[in-house]
Amino acid sequence: METFKSSFLLSLVIFLPAVSGLGLLYIPPGQTKLIRWFSFLASLAAFLFSLFLLAGFDRGNDGFQFTQPSFDWIPSLGAGYRIGIDGISLMLVLLTTLLVPLTILGSYQSVTVRVREFHLALLFLETGMLGAFAALDLVLFYVFWEVMLIPMALLIGIWGSGRRVYAAVKFFVYTMTGSLLMFLAILFLYFHLSSRGAGSFDFRDIYAGLKEHPLSATAQLWLFLAFALSFAIKVPLFPLHTWLPDAHTEAPAAGSVILAGVLLKMGTYGFIRLAIPFFPEAVRQAAPWISWLAIISIFYGAMMCLVQEDFKRLIAYSSVSHLGFAMLGIFVLNSRGLVGGIYQMLSHGISTGALFLLAGIIYERTHTRRIADYGGIAKVVPRFAAIFGFTTLASIGLPALCGFIGEFLVLQGAFELRPLYAVGAATGMVLGALYMLTLYQRMMLGKVTREEIHRLTDMNFRELATMAPLLALMAVMGMRSTWFTSYIEPAVLKWLKDFAV
């Protein structure tokens, strides 16, 4: 395994999807079957290579691993190609490489126009996400952050439905606004350290440089707000969430899966990797406010779910609520809360990604998202109903399934800091069970009220194969959580030691 650690394995995982995407340009547009299978196998190869990262990862080492000899990209500024992963980013890399091939397999029949361009955008998006999780250089991180923006906007705007252009533009404007503020803050940081002979874009050098040459309290606060705004938009944190329901509702199922499963985690990951370590004084002032915003997100997202008539929009608002738990766990700034927040990021990616896949499966058959258009479909599509029920239970945090562990640890961490935080978050959990079980009851149970329902076909082999890994992970993450936390905890403990705020 030492050979793997000193190799370019991480770069291979990052860039294999994009290079494979370029290979799609040599396949004639009419060869849709070949395009689909080529894209699926390319993304599956990235997943298999990422398993070598898992196999070679040293859980006893709390630092960055799979680093490689860096090279200067912009020598005059000191920006370079520097990558590496710790236990936190390893789990997110694995989540990404797992979801993309399942998304491609799940969209095998739903995408029928510009098939080559669709898969090209999806593979480039994967490289952007993986690169952002692995980057150890601020300029490199920003480049990968921006690389994600265009493919995602195209997925919504070209292959979406209804008001897809409106949703894509809204997503683009929100994200770009936050990105520009972050870029200005990056430049300020660099010139601040350069004036003291410590200019660098390497995360590790910036951590050390800011300890030796700290910013003033005012400068920290403004810079933190610039980073925090960019990341809070991506999470999204209330009240910056309004782009998300539109994007999810109009995006194709594949776009919704990647958006909920991975892209939203860029915001929480950004807080952990950059915003909190860079500006500890500002975090001390802002943490209570952000914690309350997280609790409001939990409660508000749940309340909005209760009044939705579009099931994709309901699942979208549930992401606002679930990611509120992750944000609360991060900003209580203790080990239980932080491990719980990261675990919530992973479990949300699995369960909500699965819900959007299921939403795509039933939409392909009915071409309606109105909850009222369903009812009693469990009698007609029992396999679909059983899988939807299992995923619903995982989403609401039933013990022994994936959603329980993260929320329980977040509540523990919140209670240690301030019991009122835990009470507020727990209220959101109760509402979460209410809206998801109500959704299941309205769609799956009761009498069949529409003739079209009788003509539905149940899930086929391809759809069952797409869901199987996610269902297995929901159970494994619920019953064998220590295997996952054994990778996360060393990095969290080092984080708390190095960046205690």
pLDDT of residue 330: 92
Around Cβ 77, how many Cβ atoms within 10 Å? Answer: 15
Say how many C-beta atoms besides its own lie within 10 A of residue 60's C-beta.
7
Q: Specify whether the CB–CB gap between 285 and 273 falls below 8 A.
A: no
Find the largest Cα–Cα distance for the chain: 74
Question: How many CB atoms neighbour CB 23 within 10 A?
Answer: 14
**Beta-bridge partners for 65:** 85
Instruction: Tell me if residue 466 falls in helix, strand or coil.
Output: helix
Residue 80 pairs in a beta bridge with 72
Residue with tokens 């030492």, as numbered in its chain = 2
| Cα gap 290→277, rounded to integer Å | 16
User: Which residues contact residue 115 at a Cβ distance below 8 angstroms, ignoring those fewer than 6 apart?
Assistant: 29, 32, 35, 36
Mean pLDDT by 10 residues, the chain (501 residues): 62 94 87 90 95 90 82 74 91 95 88 88 94 92 90 88 86 87 89 78 82 84 92 89 85 87 91 90 90 92 90 89 92 91 93 92 87 87 93 91 91 90 88 90 85 85 93 93 91 83 56
* d(C-alpha 487, C-alpha 464), whole Å: 30
Whether cis (ω within 30° of 0) applies to the bond prior to 288 is no
The candidate with the shortest Cα–Cα distance to 183, out of 152, 218, 236, 227, is: 227
Quick check: helix, strand or coil at residue 140?
Answer: helix
Give dist(CA 313, CA 432) in Å, integer. Answer: 15
Compute the distance between CA of residue 85 and CA of residue 102 in angstroms, rounded to an integer: 23
Give the integer Cα–Cα distance in Å for 245 and 238: 12
Beta-strand ranges (E) seen in 313-352 are: none
Q: Give me the phi and psi of 329, to 5 degrees please.
A: -60, -40
Residue type present at position 252: P
**Nearest to residue 202, comparing CAs of 109, 274, 112?**
274
43 within 8 A of 17, measured Cβ to Cβ: yes
Q: To which residue do tokens 């300020």 refer?
A: 188
Residue 1 pLDDT: 46
Q: Are 300 and 385 in contact (CB under 8 A)?
A: no
Residue 460 CA, distance from chain mean position: 28
* Other CB atoms within 10 A of residue 58 CB: 13
Do the Cβ atoms of 377 and 448 come closer than 8 Å?
yes
d(CA 489, CA 481): 12
Residue with tokens 């195209």, as numbered in its chain: 154
157: CB partners within 8 A, 6+ apart: 164, 165, 167, 168, 169
φ, ψ for residue 80 (rounded to 5)?
-145, 175
